[in-house]
Amino acid sequence: MKFIKKIINFYFREYKVNLSGIFDILTNITFFFISIFIFIFSVGPEKETLSLLGVGILWTLLLLSSTLSLRKFYQDDFENGSLIVLHLNGFSFELISILKTISHFFFVQFPFMMSIPFASVLLDISLEKMYDLFLSFVIGSFILSCLGSISSSMNLLNKRNYLLGSVMVLVFSIPIIIFSVGLINIEDNFNSLINILIGLLLIIFAINPWASGACLKLAIQNN
Amino acid sequence: MRFLINAKRFDAVSDILIKPLIFISIAFLIIGLLFALYLSPEDYQQGSTVRIMYIHVPSAWIALMTFLVMTVYSIIGLAFRMPFGFIINKAVAPIGAIFTLICIVSGSLWGKPMWGTWWVWDARLTSVSILFVFYLIIIFINKSFENNLVREKISAIFILIGSVNLPIIKFSVDWWNTLHQPATISKLSKPSIDPSMITPLIIMTIAFISIAALIAILRVKTEIITRENI
């Protein structure tokens, strides 16, 4: 019971921290919409082109803009010592990484999910495709959160090369984007591709706590 | 075989190995190039461009083998706490990157006259280019961390995660319908290549492997000298 209370307190704190930094998230979403505008200006506003390219453009931009803020995943908690306090309170590093991943999914990826309908209006994506896009983004963004947890915990002590974490996530997100765009664009292949996507999610969700827990421990020991 | 996991033994054994390796690499490179460029026959379909294969295939094998070696040594370094694994990881990453680049560039040079394009997005080519990006990221990790202990463990964890790409590269030609041809030489069946072409291929492979091993030994020795505690 005490443990559950601790977890609830953790999420309450995450909520407050993310609420105070809400303009970061809003800036991220603004970046997303502006890049959609830029894409439309560059490929031209014809409806045929947009409906052909729309899903791919949308997924790419979602990926790029959700990896923008990855550096803040653990960095703030690491620098003000919250990670050590959490660890002293009986949270193992593996559990911390699971909790932070879920919190990142809710507080950072969720606003992107909310902005998908508006973006798909801009890119002229039909309603059925939008449902598939939404579904694929729910699964894919959770994979992205796991990957982000691994890469940002790896780069906690990296003071020189800030972009390395984003590059790591982008490399590993190639299968996600292949399967989720395929899920939407290829007809009558829905079940197999969504099974592959869920399988990827389960694999990465299983690897994530061990990899990022080890990296967090390493960073705290050597800071 | 303790020299494979112990730095001091490796230093001693590599002193013995280095002169034969120089001899083998020079001799086999000369003989192999002679075979590959003059003595081997032209292909009935590809003409002289088949000779690019004698560079392309060995470098691709070495590119994969280097990552496999790094994966094994990451496990040795992380699980058995032997720092020699991390030394190897740091030393061989640029070698793998260069051989992957040679593989990609030579394949692209072959593809223009044969397939009519420098690059196609099929599974084998894409996965090899991702392998190249992995090598680059490992080199970047090695360059950008200040703390040595953190750097080597982080790069080992990254190598372990990145090793999922290896079976994808190996089996990409079987799993997907690719423009790249499936493996010609395999252990289980007789190779579907003429003996007059497999001889220079094997000679060039030995030459390439010994060159890669030579560079690796030199880099590992430098790494052992510059490292404070082994």
Does residue B230 have a pLDDT over 60?
Answer: no
The predicted structure's pLDDT at residue B187: 58
Q: Please, are residues B216 and B92 in contact by the beta-carbon 8 Å criterion?
A: yes
Q: Which residue has the tokens 């003071």?
A: A159
Q: Which range of residues forms the domain containing residue A63?
A: 2-222
Q: How many domains does chain A have?
A: 1
B100-105 contacts at long range (C-beta below 8 A, 24 or more positions apart):
B100/B59, B100/B63, B100/B128, B100/B131, B100/B132, B100/B135, B101/B132, B102/B55, B102/B59, B103/B56, B103/B59, B103/B60, B103/B63, B103/B128, B104/B128, B104/B129, B104/B132
> Looking at this protein, which amino acid is placed at residue B224?
I
The secondary structure of B59-78, three-state, reads HHHHHHHHHHHHHHHHHHHH
Tell me if A165 sits within 8 A of A155, measured CB to CB. yes
In whole angstroms, give the CA distance from residue B154 to residue A221.
13
CA distances from A31 to A37, A117, A141 (A): 10, 16, 17
Nearest to B156 by CA among B66, B76, B65: B76
Q: Which residue has the higher pLDDT, B6 or B132?
A: B132
pLDDT band of residue B178 (cuts 50, 70, 90) is: confident
Residue of A161 and A88 predicted with greater confidence: A88
**CB nearest A218 (choices: B130, B137, B153):** B153
* Number of alpha carbons in the 13 Å side-chain half-sphere of residue A70: 29
Tell me how close the Cα of B153 comes to any Cα of chain A, in angstroms: 8
Chain A interface test: which of B122, B125, B150 (most A C-beta within 10 Å): B150
Q: Minimal Cα–Cα distance from B86 to chain A, Å?
A: 15
Give the confidence band of B190 by pLDDT, cuts at 50, 70, 90.
low
pLDDT at A10 over 80: yes
- Under the banding of pLDDT at 50, 70 and 90, the label for residue B185 is low
* pLDDT-derived band at B229, boundaries 50, 70, 90: low
Mean pLDDT, chain A, rounded, equals: 88
pLDDT of res. B130:
92
Q: How far apart are CA B66 and CA A121, in angstroms?
A: 48
pLDDT exceeds cutoff 80 at B1: no
Does pLDDT of A53 surpass 70? yes
- Of residues B55 and B196, more confidently modeled: B55
Q: CB B92: neighbour CB atoms within 10 A? A: 24
CB B209, CB B58: distance < 8 Å: yes
Looking at A28-37, A182-191, B55-64, B136-145, which range is the least confident one?
A182-191
The domain locations on chain B are 53-176+193-230
Say which residue, B127 or B190, is predicted with more confidence. Answer: B127
Report the mean per-residue pLDDT for chain B: 87
Q: How confident is the model at residue B40 (pLDDT cuts 50, 70, 90)?
A: confident
Q: Give exposure, B172-210, as e/b (b: 16+ Cβ within 10 Å).
A: bbeeeebebeeeeeeeeeeeeeeeebebbbebbbbbbbb
Record: contact A160-B144, CB cut-off 8 A = yes
Burial A189-202 (b: 16+ CB within 10 A, else e): eeeebbebbeebbe
Contact A219 B140 (CB under 8 A): no
- Facing residues of B47 across strands? B43
pLDDT tens string A175-206: 888 888 888 877 777 888 889 899 999 999 99
pLDDT tens-digit map of B123-132? 888 899 999 9
The whole-angstrom separation of Cα A177 and Cα A56 is 8
Collapse the DSSP code of A180 into the 3-class scheme (helix H, G, I; strand E, B; otherwise coil) and give the result: helix
Residue range A158-168: mean pLDDT, rounded? 84
Handedness of CA A166, A167, A173, A174 (dihedral sign): positive
Q: What is the pLDDT of residue A8?
A: 92
Q: What is the ipTM of this complex?
A: 0.86
